[in-house]
A and B are shown apart, each in its own frame.
Chain A
Amino acid sequence: MSSIPLQPGALGTPNEQARENYLNIKHTVASWLLTKDHKRIAVLYGLSISIMFFLGGLAAAGIRVALVRPHDTFFSSEAYNKLFSAHGIIMVFFFLVPSIPATLGNFLLPIMIGARDLAFPRLNLLSWYIYIIGALITLGAIATGGIDTGWTFYVPYSSVYSNTDVVAVIVGVFFAGFASIFTGINFLVTVHKMRAPGMTWFRMPLFVWAMYATSIVMVLGTPVVAITLLLVVLERVFGVCIFNPACGGDPILFEHLFWFYSHPAVYIMILPSMGVISEVITCFSRKRVFGYEFVAFSSMAIALLGFFVWGHHMFVTGESMYGGMVFSIITFLIAVPSAIKVFNWSATMYKGNVWLSAPLLYAIGFIFLFTIGGLTGLYLASLAVDVHLNMTYFVVAHFHYVMVGGAIFGYMAGMHFWWPKITGRMYPEGWAKLACIIMFVGFNLTFFPQFILGFLGMPRRYHFYPPEYQMWNILSSAGASVLAVGFAIPFFYWMWSLKYGELAGPNPWGAKGLEWAIPSPPPSHNFDSVPIVTEEAYAYEEIYARELAGDYSDSQVDRPVSPLNTEQPDQKTLEDHSSTEESL
């Protein structure tokens, strides 16, 4: 599947690139910092979270260096504790939560539903500024002293005992929370009120459904954690007494309030990725997504059920036995919508005309890793097994499979899929696939050993560990270095592609959906006139038929050299037919 020399006119011409778009309309710094264009804000967010991802990754590198030896002498225990706290806080609050919603979501949501912008462009910019303020406060605190509570800020350690800079970090996280709330409000209103004529709910792309579900979680969950963390600050600063057991307070109440947000927050991270995967798989299978309504409603089901499972983080805190049983069964039930999604994606590819491009490769990686991550989540939902596995490396491995394997692979799939739309240029396909494979191998090498470590009983957040766990930790650290290489490669080829990449043209993939109907990069106001939507975003039937007839003119890049398929879709043997029906 090597890419062929471009036919003139197939891709965008330099002329087209010179057309006015959101990137070249103005060049001053102020035009970026004061922009109200959702696309520019998406780019600002994209750059900011990339920096945060890099910093969080550095902290992770420190952790893996420390864990190579059972009795590490490279870092002190204080430093190690600060490293994993910084890693968790930066990655969760400043990378994963805003990752897809604030970048791809910001960029695509209005375009996908045919709007000129989000409902509240100024609020959108404010959200970015608040995020930046929060990030600076948190990074400042981490740089000048650090915090050693872990990202969970459990009391009374965080409120009374820790002598690190808890207050500043929490204030930073508080700001980031409001950034996320504002994004959520903006998306909810936009989806409800800004859809183009004809864009009914059930014509919306599944990515929009996923963003909608995510926004609900953001709006309902984030305020709770914000006020909870604020109470911790008040305890530290004013000595008021809410959670401190020394004066009758209840540290478990903190855990309840914290996880009431922080478990749904996991769905803030994974739902957008699921939306991306739905888009990528349909596009590259050339088929309408299998079971559209089921995929859409499973997003909503996950978002809503996600609010009733927080107690599964607390099975061993001595919460009521019946409470544990209720939380456990709801957690088992929430696995069903996730399973529905995975099976629907697989079924979408069945009998498709599957084009194994880099975004699809990332999507396949996502499905594999998410399946493992999701299923291992059930070990932790299962009461008896959780008693053993809770707070061990099994948990660490599980949520990295979901959040790195899931959220980040989804993010990478989306970034590659929409890169031509965002920048107007193609990334180098071969390098992208190589990076994906390296990432996949490195990822499994890093985190699979942690499942075994967890089952063996190694607790998380351990600086020193018994020597018999060393080999697995060495494997994990080795894998982490491979993973780091995998993450570094896209950075370089994306930078390269900004200048040297082929011009993409409006629709390099031959994809459906409103965003592919406008030029790349899109003009400032997205649509010259409001589009009238007459079909859903997955009307691939015509392209599918054309491609099966050997006409690949819809995809502008990576076209098969010669039409391989001369078979007509209706030519079939009865035998083949019956066997495929059975296998379904």
Chain B
Amino acid sequence: MSSAQLEVAPQRLAHQFEDIDQQNECYIVGMWTFLVTEIMFFGALFLALTVYRSVYPNSFFEAHLALNKWLGLLNTFILLTSSFFVAMGVRAKMLGQNSATQFWLGLTILCAFGFLGVKYVEYSAEFREHHFPGPNFHFVATQPPGGDLSANSQVASGQPNISSRDFPAGYHPQQLELHKRQLFFSLYFVMTGLHGLHVIIGILVLGSIWFLIRYKHPSVDDYMTLELAGLYWHFVDIVWIFLYPLVYLIGRQ
């Protein structure tokens, strides 16, 4: 940032500030503070996930197999790439190259849409299979590759088939295993949903900046707006980097 100040186009100074340095520092510190609140926001969810995962390790392992980890990996790459693009965009803006900025920003937004597209594919598959929590929730365990650890009833050599047991009328033994998987999918949908919401907000923010640059609006004369949006975008990326392994790559207990 400091190196850029040499070459940058003049910035506008808001009335409450003494000089550009103070203004820029305020913006940066403010953005970081905001990101701290965001971390606390997601932190509570990560805590809940950790707690429940340690309580129900088998069910969570079981349930997470239904997620498509390759699509998740694809999304990780998409987001990482977009972080690179947005960093390039900020650099271009610092150097005052507006068309290059627009180019990099366009790529970033494209990546963001790509991410949402992949997420849409995942979600629609999950909705189709009734993995969304609620009264219609339904889960058929997939056989874990090469293992017999599944808590599913059809497994385990030499054991009697439990579903043939004489249960009282109306009793569904699968219900509880379902519940725990539902717990996993609840957390999955809440966390990825909130993250997706952040991606959408990111698209709106970066998109507006793209248009403002295009129409040469004075509010984006300087690079600070984009710098802050870039910080936010990196944060969205980082959340996913934690979210992906913790949700998609649960280890076997």
- Asked whether any CB of A lies within 8 Å of a CB of B in the complex, the reply is yes
Q: Are A185 and B183 in contact (CB under 8 A)?
A: no
- State how many angstroms separate the Cβ of A242 from the closest Cβ of chain B: 5
Q: Are B51 and A250 in contact (CB under 8 A)?
A: yes
Q: Are A248 and B135 in contact (CB under 8 A)?
A: no
Q: Are A248 and B176 in contact (CB under 8 A)?
A: yes
Q: Are A246 and B179 in contact (CB under 8 A)?
A: yes
Q: Are A242 and B48 in contact (CB under 8 A)?
A: yes
List, in ascending order, chain A residues with CB within 8 A of B33's CB: 184-185, 188-189, 219
Known: A223-B37, A223-B44, A226-B41. A193 touches B179 (CB 8 A): no
Determine the distance from Cα of A257 to Cα of B52 in the docked complex, in whole angstroms: 14
Contact segment of B18-26, B86-94, B115-123, B205-213: B18-26
List, in ascending order, chain B residues with CB within 8 A of A188's CB: 29, 33
- State how many angstroms separate the Cβ of A228 from the closest Cβ of chain B: 6
B202 CB-CB contact with A under 8 Å: no
Known: A116-B16, A185-B33, A242-B190. A247 touches B182 (CB 8 A): yes
List, in ascending order, chain B residues with CB within 8 A of A185's CB: 30, 33-34, 37
Contact with B along A205-219 (1 / 0, CB 8 A): 000000000000001
- State how many angstroms separate the Cβ of A203 from the closest Cβ of chain B: 18
Determine the distance from Cα of A121 to Cα of B16 in the docked complex, in whole angstroms: 8
Q: Are B134 and A219 in contact (CB under 8 A)?
A: no
Determine the distance from Cα of A249 to Cα of B181 in the docked complex, in whole angstroms: 11
Determine the distance from Cα of A358 to Cα of B18 in the docked complex, in whole angstroms: 38
Nearest A residue to B133 via CB reads: A240
B64 CB-CB contact with A under 8 Å: no
List, in ascending order, chain B residues with CB within 8 A of A192's CB: 29
Most chain A beta carbons < 10 A, residue from B42, B45, B186: B186
Q: Are A248 and B41 in contact (CB under 8 A)?
A: no
Q: Are B189 and A228 in contact (CB under 8 A)?
A: no
Q: Are B183 and A238 in contact (CB under 8 A)?
A: no
Nearest B residue to A222 via CB reads: B37
- State how many angstroms separate the Cβ of B33 from the closest Cβ of chain A: 5
Q: How many A-B residue pairs have CB under 8 A?
A: 116
Nearest A residue to B187 via CB reads: A242
- State how many angstroms separate the Cβ of B76 from the closest Cβ of chain A: 23
A224 CB-CB contact with B under 8 Å: yes
Q: Are A115 and B44 in contact (CB under 8 A)?
A: no
Near A by CB (< 8 A), chain B positions 80-138 give: 132-135
Q: Are B183 and A118 in contact (CB under 8 A)?
A: no
Q: Are B179 and A239 in contact (CB under 8 A)?
A: no
Q: Are B16 and A118 in contact (CB under 8 A)?
A: yes
Determine the distance from Cα of A222 to Cα of B43 in the docked complex, in whole angstroms: 12
B151 CB-CB contact with A under 8 Å: no
A525 CB-CB contact with B under 8 Å: yes
Q: Are B56 and A220 in contact (CB under 8 A)?
A: no
A231 CB-CB contact with B under 8 Å: yes
Q: Are B16 and A194 in contact (CB under 8 A)?
A: yes
- State how many angstroms separate the Cβ of B224 from the closest Cβ of chain A: 13
Partner of B133, one of A220, A221, A239: A239
Q: Are B182 and A241 in contact (CB under 8 A)?
A: yes
Q: Are B30 and A119 in contact (CB under 8 A)?
A: yes
Determine the distance from Cα of A94 to Cα of B246 in the docked complex, in whole angstroms: 37
A120 CB-CB contact with B under 8 Å: yes
A227 CB-CB contact with B under 8 Å: yes
List, in ascending order, chain A residues with CB within 8 A of B51's CB: 250, 253
Near A by CB (< 8 A), chain B positions 149-198 give: 176, 179-180, 182-183, 185-187, 189-190
Q: Are B179 and A220 in contact (CB under 8 A)?
A: no
A10 CB-CB contact with B under 8 Å: no
Known: A119-B30, A193-B29. A228 touches B16 (CB 8 A): no
Near B by CB (< 8 A), chain A positions 99-117 give: 110, 115-117
- State how many angstroms separate the Cβ of A392 from the closest Cβ of chain B: 30
- State how many angstroms separate the Cβ of A314 from the closest Cβ of chain B: 15
B38 CB-CB contact with A under 8 Å: yes
A234 CB-CB contact with B under 8 Å: yes
Q: Are B186 and A120 in contact (CB under 8 A)?
A: no
Q: Are A116 and B15 in contact (CB under 8 A)?
A: yes
Nearest A residue to B59 via CB reads: A248
Determine the distance from Cα of A247 to Cα of B43 in the docked complex, in whole angstroms: 23
Determine the distance from Cα of A246 to Cα of B17 in the docked complex, in whole angstroms: 55
List, in ascending order, chain B residues with CB within 8 A of A118's CB: 16
List, in ascending order, chain A residues with CB within 8 A of B37's CB: 181, 185, 219-220, 222-223
List, in ascending order, chain B residues with CB within 8 A of A530's CB: 18
- State how many angstroms separate the Cβ of A126 from the closest Cβ of chain B: 12
Q: Are B44 and A228 in contact (CB under 8 A)?
A: yes
B6 CB-CB contact with A under 8 Å: no
- State how many angstroms separate the Cβ of B171 from the closest Cβ of chain A: 15
- State how many angstroms separate the Cβ of A244 from the closest Cβ of chain B: 9
Partner of A248, one of B17, B56, B185: B56
- State how many angstroms separate the Cβ of B13 from the closest Cβ of chain A: 12
Determine the distance from Cα of A121 to Cα of B15 in the docked complex, in whole angstroms: 10
List, in ascending order, chain A residues with CB within 8 A of B38's CB: 223
What 7 A-B pairs come out closest when comparing CB atoms? A247-B179, A117-B16, A240-B186, A223-B41, A239-B134, A223-B40, A119-B26
Given A228-B44, A246-B179: 5 more A-B contacts, CB < 8 Å: A186-B30, A189-B26, A192-B29, A248-B180, A257-B48
Provide 20 A-B residue pairs closer than 8 Å at the C-beta atoms, listed in order of the A residue.
A116-B15, A117-B15, A118-B16, A119-B30, A121-B14, A189-B26, A190-B26, A193-B22, A194-B22, A220-B40, A223-B44, A227-B44, A227-B45, A228-B44, A234-B190, A241-B183, A242-B48, A248-B183, A253-B48, A260-B44
